[in-house]
């Protein structure tokens, strides 16, 4: 049964779900009344001139809101002197550093559209995005300059600016000095309209060439207001920027939402592998990450003896939370990949409830969210304010409302493929919606396993059930399309593996040694069996292989946002998969595992 949720009333009258109106009238920030991100920034900067707006660990760099506003004005004037006008695009290829915020915000004040590139991108990939965006300006740093220059042939780029100097390119300081003193900055930002594009977010390309998702000022401010409605936060707090700015998650939480709209101090962490170490210094009031981040924190805590936080005293739990630097957090967001219920339960018992969400570039980031104080474990939460949703006949989640993108840049046909004539965005996600309007994602339409008997199954659901069996499982890929049964490729979690090897006093603690060790196989076999007990017989994993590998972001196996590249994985590990289906080997195998 599908229900309509409106003002917290449940009525089974239509095949849709509508986001409930606010239960909390607190705005938390005057900037929420702004019509553009430029206006929001000006309100915030004027309210808190002496507060630190941007910093790096150890306070090597600190910039107050007053300083931030001054730099934005100067950079905007410099960009205008180079010919950047309303509607133009500006490319950014930077690590998480204060200069990203300075340049991005300056471009916004010109009515331009700044966008970020993944730092791991190859020159050919960079060239593809330049061709789609049509940008004439690129702002980068010395370490990425060779790749950027290798991508310029045939592009519209005429100027490359390097923020950290040390090259023959124009520096950021030189750009700021280039501006005309008579440049009318005030008139420039006040001319920006809510319908102007604020950014392009390029999709990860798991289903083809990356698409440029066009998001407007109105889209992003609607997102800010809707999230504040669901999970109110106070202005003037702090957060940490560490995820790639090419991905909307970091832009939303650390740039548009926490920074521009709420005046938080942003700690910029250039190396995401060190982010947990910097949390005690930053002490964020709002923070979030993909499940992998929280899995690593849990593995470290368990290795230190915090296996069952529910059995600990309140004082002990508080000391651990403070030690993590999360004692001031008003809410924590988790999403971007399937979330194990056990992971959410663990942090909830620790006193750190995780708000599971559903977010997409095409929906301005979050579109559903669990309230921090009333979440349903295993769901992505209810739709945010102003959004409508319904399930198509095949179970696909359709969405409509102010968070839906303007379209894919320069690709009207691909836009029409996902946004129909009635304005419904077709997510490609298969979902369930319960009587209270909580949405749960079952899998992807295009990622269904259809076995040789014609049975349709969601690999995501299967993988989630198996992964919950033990923290040693870092990544798992279910395989079974056009096959008689399902098998799995399993990659060990490096942190959990290190702790396991130490506890068991392994002499060889390498990934290859652990993948082949009988003790590890026994643990994984039990985890697979436990996961299988939650699945129907046809969905169960019959055999698996533990790979001697450590899959990294933006690799053959994972996108930059840690999504599985199923087709490349199937191709790369074709021999391993074939062995899992070899009749002779199956006869010889007495357990459910294989090396």
The span from the CA of 175 to the CA of 81, in Å, is 9
Any idea which of 301-305, 361-365, 541-545 has the lowest mean pLDDT? 301-305
Q: Answer for the pair 138, 159: CB distance below 8 angstroms, yes or no.
A: yes
Q: What is the rounded end-to-end Cα distance, in angstroms, of the chain?
A: 45
Please check whether residues 412 and 505 belong to one and the same domain: no
The 3 state secondary structure assigned to 484-541 is CCEEEEEEECHHHHHHHHHHCCCCCCCHHHHHHCHHHHHHHHHHHHHHHCCCCHHHCE
Identify the CATH number of the domain in which residue 528 sits. Answer: 3.30.300.30
In a domain, 20, yes or no: no
Please check whether residues 437 and 456 belong to one and the same domain: no
Q: What DSSP line would sit under 315-347, residue for residue?
A: HHHHHHHHHHT-TT-SEEEE-SS---HHHHHHH
The span from the CA of 248 to the CA of 82, in Å, is 27
Give the dihedral of Cα atoms 244, 246, 247, 249; nearest 10 deg: 70
Count Cβ atoms below 10 Å from residue 85 Cβ, excluding itself.
Answer: 11
Quick check: 116 pLDDT over 50?
yes
Average pLDDT of the chain is: 90
Q: What is the pLDDT of residue 19?
A: 55
Q: Provide the residue range defining the domain that includes 143.
A: 36-273
Quick check: 3 pLDDT over 70?
no
Q: What is the pLDDT of residue 227?
A: 97
Q: What is the pLDDT of residue 9?
A: 28
For the chain, what percent of residues have pLDDT higher than 90?
72
- 297 CB contacts (<8 Å, ≥6 apart)? 276, 324
Q: Answer for the pair 231, 23: CB distance below 8 angstroms, yes or no.
A: no
Please check whether residues 180 and 71 belong to one and the same domain: yes
The span from the CA of 403 to the CA of 41, in Å, is 20
Instruction: Report, as an integer, the average pLDDT of 198-210.
Output: 79
Which has more pLDDT, 334 or 442?
Answer: 334
Count Cβ atoms below 10 Å from residue 495 Cβ, excluding itself.
Answer: 19
Answer with the one of 447, 474, 503 that is the final residue of a domain.
447
CA atoms within 13 A on the CB side of 99: 19
| Cα→Cα distances 520→492, 498, 595, Å | 9, 12, 11
Q: What is the pLDDT of residue 17?
A: 53
Banded pLDDT at 586 (limits 50, 70, 90): low
The span from the CA of 130 to the CA of 120, in Å, is 15
- 382 CB contacts (<8 Å, ≥6 apart)? 5, 17, 19, 20, 230, 368, 369, 370, 436, 437, 438, 439
Q: What is the pLDDT of residue 18?
A: 53
Q: What is the pLDDT of residue 587?
A: 46
The span from the CA of 152 to the CA of 138, in Å, is 10
Q: What is the pLDDT of residue 206?
A: 53
Please check whether residues 307 and 424 belong to one and the same domain: yes
- 370 CB contacts (<8 Å, ≥6 apart)? 355, 356, 357, 376, 379, 380, 381, 382, 438
CA atoms within 13 A on the CB side of 431: 29
Q: What is the pLDDT of residue 567?
A: 86
Q: Answer for the pair 396, 430: CB distance below 8 angstroms, yes or no.
A: yes
Task: List pLDDT tens digits, range 152-185.
Answer: 999 999 999 999 988 999 999 999 999 998 999 9
Instruction: Report, as an integer, the average pLDDT of 85-100.
Output: 98
Beta strands in 186-225 (DSSP E): 197-202, 212-216
Identify the CATH number of the domain in which residue 254 sits. Answer: 3.40.50.12780
Q: What is the pLDDT of residue 498?
A: 87
The span from the CA of 97 to the CA of 61, in Å, is 9
For the chain, the maximum distance between any two Cα atoms, rounded to a whole number of angstroms, is 82
The span from the CA of 389 to the CA of 401, in Å, is 9
- The structure tokens listed for 549 are 């590998």
Q: Are strands 396-400 and 407-408 parallel, antiparallel or unpaired?
A: unpaired
Which has more pLDDT, 588 or 448?
Answer: 448
Task: List pLDDT tens digits, range 66-83.
Answer: 999 999 999 999 999 999
Q: Answer for the pair 212, 408: CB distance below 8 angstroms, yes or no.
A: yes
Please check whether residues 310 and 397 belong to one and the same domain: yes
In a domain, 284, yes or no: no
Helix H or strand E segment including 266? strand 265-268
For the chain, what percent of residues have pLDDT higher than 70?
92
Please check whether residues 441 and 525 belong to one and the same domain: no
Please check whether residues 320 and 421 belong to one and the same domain: yes
The span from the CA of 40 to the CA of 42, in Å, is 6
- The structure tokens listed for 156 are 């519209």
Please check whether residues 324 and 257 belong to one and the same domain: no
In a domain, 43, yes or no: yes
Quick check: 110 pLDDT over 50?
yes
Answer with the one of 273, 303, 329 that is the final residue of a domain.
273
The span from the CA of 405 to the CA of 218, in Å, is 10
Banded pLDDT at 137 (limits 50, 70, 90): very high
**How many domains are contained in the chain?**
3
Quick check: 518 pLDDT over 80?
yes
Please check whether residues 502 and 458 belong to one and the same domain: yes
Instruction: Report, as an integer, the average pLDDT of 491-516.
Output: 88
Which has more pLDDT, 465 or 562?
Answer: 465
Q: Counting Cβ atoms within 10 Å, is residue 264 exposed (0-12), middle (13-18) or buried (19+)?
A: buried
Give the dihedral of Cα atoms 376, 377, 378, 380; nearest 10 deg: 50
Please check whether residues 214 and 344 belong to one and the same domain: no
The span from the CA of 56 to the CA of 69, in Å, is 18
In a domain, 125, yes or no: yes
Count Cβ atoms below 10 Å from residue 512 Cβ, excluding itself.
Answer: 11
In a domain, 166, yes or no: yes
In a domain, 324, yes or no: yes
Please check whether residues 455 and 345 belong to one and the same domain: no
- The structure tokens listed for 158 are 């005429």
Task: List pLDDT tens digits, range 232-290.
Answer: 999 999 999 999 999 899 999 999 999 999 999 999 999 988 999 999 999 999 999 98
In a domain, 31, yes or no: no
Please check whether residues 191 and 259 belong to one and the same domain: yes
Q: What is the pLDDT of residue 205?
A: 58
Task: List pLDDT tens digits, range 408-428.
Answer: 999 999 999 999 999 999 999
Count Cβ atoms below 10 Å from residue 119 Cβ, excluding itself.
Answer: 20
Answer with the one of 273, 299, 326 that is the final residue of a domain.
273
Task: List pLDDT tens digits, range 4-37.
Answer: 223 232 222 233 455 543 333 344 789 999 999 9
Banded pLDDT at 482 (limits 50, 70, 90): confident
In a domain, 3, yes or no: no
| Cα→Cα distances 445→429, 456, 457, 563, Å | 6, 10, 10, 15
């Amino acid at each position: 049964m599908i229900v309509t949720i409106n003002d917290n009333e449940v009525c089974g009258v239509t095949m849709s779900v509508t986001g409930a109106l606010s239960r909390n009238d607190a705005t938390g920030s005057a900037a929420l009344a702004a019509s553009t991100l430029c206006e929001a920034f000006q309100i915030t900067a004027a309210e808190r001139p002496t507060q630190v707006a941007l910093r790096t660990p150890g306070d090597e760099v600190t910039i107050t809101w007053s300083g931030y506003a001054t730099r934005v004005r100067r950079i905007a004037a410099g960009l205008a002197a180079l010919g950047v006008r309303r509607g133009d695009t500006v490319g950014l290829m930077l690590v998480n550093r204060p200069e990203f915020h300075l340049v991005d915000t300056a471009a916004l004040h010109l009515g331009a559209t700044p966008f970020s590139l993944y730092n791991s991108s190859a020159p050919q990939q960079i060239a593809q995005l330049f061709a789609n965006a049509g940008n004439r300006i690129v702002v980068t740093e010395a370490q990425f300059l060779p790749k950027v220059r290798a991508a310029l042939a045939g592009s519209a780029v005429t100027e490359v600016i390097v923020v950290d100097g040390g090259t023959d390119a124009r520096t950021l300081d030189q750009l700021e000095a280039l501006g005309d003193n008579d440049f009318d900055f005030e008139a420039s930002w006040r001319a920006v309209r809510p319908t102007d594009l604020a950014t392009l977010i390029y999709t990860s390309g798991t289903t083809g060439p990356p698409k440029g998702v066009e998001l407007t000022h109105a889209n992003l401010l609607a997102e800010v207001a809707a999230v504040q409605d669901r999970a109110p936060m106070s202005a003037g707090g702090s957060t940490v920027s560490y995820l790639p700015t090419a991905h909307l998650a970091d832009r939303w939480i650390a740039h548009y939402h926490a920074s521009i709209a709420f005046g938080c101090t942003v700690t910029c962490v250039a190396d995401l592998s060190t982010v947990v170490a910097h949390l005690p210094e930053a002490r964020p009031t709002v923070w979030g990450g993909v499940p992998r981040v929280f899995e690593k924190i849990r593995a470290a805590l368990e290795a230190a003896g915090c296996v069952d936080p529910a059995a600990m005293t309140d004082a002990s739990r508080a000391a651990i939370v403070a030690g993590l630097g999360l004692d001031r957090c008003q809410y924590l967001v988790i999403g971007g990949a399937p979330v194990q219920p056990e992971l959410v339960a663990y942090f909830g018992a620790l006193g750190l409830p995780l708000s599971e969400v559903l977010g997409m570039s095409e929906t301005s980031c979050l579109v559903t969210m669990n309230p921090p104080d009333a979440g349903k474990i295993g769901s992505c939460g209810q739709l945010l304010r102003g959004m409508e949703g319904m399930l198509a006949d095949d179970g696909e989640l359709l969405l409509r409302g102010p968070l839906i993108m303007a379209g894919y840049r320069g690709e009207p046909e691909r836009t029409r493929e996902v946004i129909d004539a009635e304005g419904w965005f077709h997510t490609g996600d298969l979902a369930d919606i319960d009587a209270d309007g909580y949405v749960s994602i079952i899998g992807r339409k295009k990622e269904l396993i259809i076995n040789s008997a014609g049975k349709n199954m969601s690999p995501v659901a299967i993988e989630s059930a198996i992964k919950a069996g033990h923290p040693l499982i870092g990544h798992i890929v279910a395989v079974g399309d056009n096959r008689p049964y399902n098998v799995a490729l399993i990659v060990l979690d490096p942190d959990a593996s290190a702790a396991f090897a130490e506890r068991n006093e392994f002499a060889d603690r390498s990934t290859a040694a652990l993948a082949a060790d009988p003790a590890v196989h026994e643990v994984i076999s039990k985890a697979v069996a436990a996961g299988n007990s939650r699945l129907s017989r046809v969905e169960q994993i019959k055999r698996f292989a533990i790979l001697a590998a450590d899959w990294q972001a933006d690799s053959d196996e994972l996108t930059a946002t840690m999504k599985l590249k199923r087709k490349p994985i199937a191709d790369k590990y074709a021999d391993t998969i074939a062995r899992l289906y070899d009749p002779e080997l199956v006869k010889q195998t007495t357990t459910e595992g294989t090396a």
